[in-house]
Structure 1
């Protein structure tokens, strides 16, 4: 597939004309990366704007004891770069981002992107929407870490990330949610008793999505 067509398939660039897509493609490239590749580290500066085309990535931080603090997953197609300002010439990462499966990434020269698009008022709305999305992710993180009960944490992950939940080991889920494995088991048993979920061979099936939503929204 032509690079122009790859770019046009992303909602972020759907407003661009064919001529603008050709221009953007002239300073862009698509690169394949293996699982566990670290896309960028926290607080590093980058001259590239990155979009995840295929695969899944993980955003996380490292605390002073060298422990990994999970933030959220990033699913394709999605913007990988953190946007905090439209004025700076480089992008600064809020967190570490690594790939959890083989992936493809669209890499755009950010300086040229600013020159030919942002400085002319193109795609500024899309950038604003991405900033809002990052803010919402931060709100969800605050709720998960400081406000939600263990039951609400598990319910939210089941509701929002059932495929990922079923692909991980219970110990990995416990680490992500910052709860004990025994607590995770008790919560799953409770949700099962309430006929909200069912399980077979460690795989969870949601029986009542509305009830699951109420568990962490009330």
Structure 2
């Protein structure tokens, strides 16, 4: 896919006119990167605004014992960069970001992007929307880590990310949710007994989405 077609494929740039897309091409580049490639580290400074065109990325932190603390997944057609201050020409990473599968990455010179687009009131609303989505992810993270019990954690992941839940091994899900594998099994069996989910050949099927959402939001 050409750079121009790549930009046109991303929702973030849908409002741009063709001449603006051509201008954006002049300050952008695309890369195909392999699984496990680390895009940036926590607190690292970057001069690029980075989007995930295709593939899957993972945000995580490392604790003082060198253990990986999973935060959330980032899916295709999404902004990867953490925008915390729109007045700077560099971007500081909130977390480590690595690729969970082979992916295509779009990089845009952030200083030039600010001058050519944001300062001309282009894509400002889109950037604010992306910042709001990041805030929602962090809010969900706080709930998951400090407020929700095991049942709520599992219900929320099933309701919001069923595809990933069925893709991962149960052990990996337990690590993500910070619960024991036995606890995960008990919760799934409880949800199945209550006819909220079914499990067929190891894959979860949601039978009552409203009730599952209610459990995850309690």
RMSD between superposed Cα atoms in Å: 1.0
Instruction: Identify the residue that residue 40 of structure 1 maps to in structure 2.
Output: 40
For 1:91 and 1:128, how far apart are their aligned partners in 2? 15
Q: How many residues align?
A: 218
More displaced, 1-10 or 160-169? 1-10
Give a deviation string over 1:79-114, Cα, whole Å, max 9, x none: 011111110010110000111111001111111111
Report the counterpart of residue 10 of structure 2 in structure 1. Answer: 10
Aligned to 2:171: 171
Structure 1: state its 5+ residue gaps. none
Once the two structures are TM-superposed, the CA of residue 17 in structure 1 deviates from its matched residue by 1.1
- Alignment map for 1:137-216 (pairs within 5 Å): 137-216=137-216
SS at match of 2:66: coil
Q: CA deviation at 1:5?
A: 2.2
Could you tell me which runs of 5 or more consecutive residues in structure 2 were left unpaired when the two chains were aligned. none
CA distance in 2, matches of 1:146, 1:171: 21
Normalised TM-score (structure 2): 0.97
Q: Report the equivalent of 1:135.
A: 135
**Alpha-carbon distance between aligned partners in 1 of 2:217 and 2:117, rounded to the nearest angstrom:** 39
Note the alpha carbon deviations across 1:19-75, whole angstroms, 9 max, x for none: 110000011111000111111110000011111000011101111111111111100
Matches of 2:191 and 2:24 in 1, distance apart? 49
Correspondence for 2:115: 115
Matches within 5 A, 1:94-109: 94-109=94-109
Q: Give the secondary structure class of the aligned counterpart of 2:106.
A: strand
Moved more, 116-125 or 60-69: 116-125
* Separation in 2, partners of 1:68, 1:183: 21
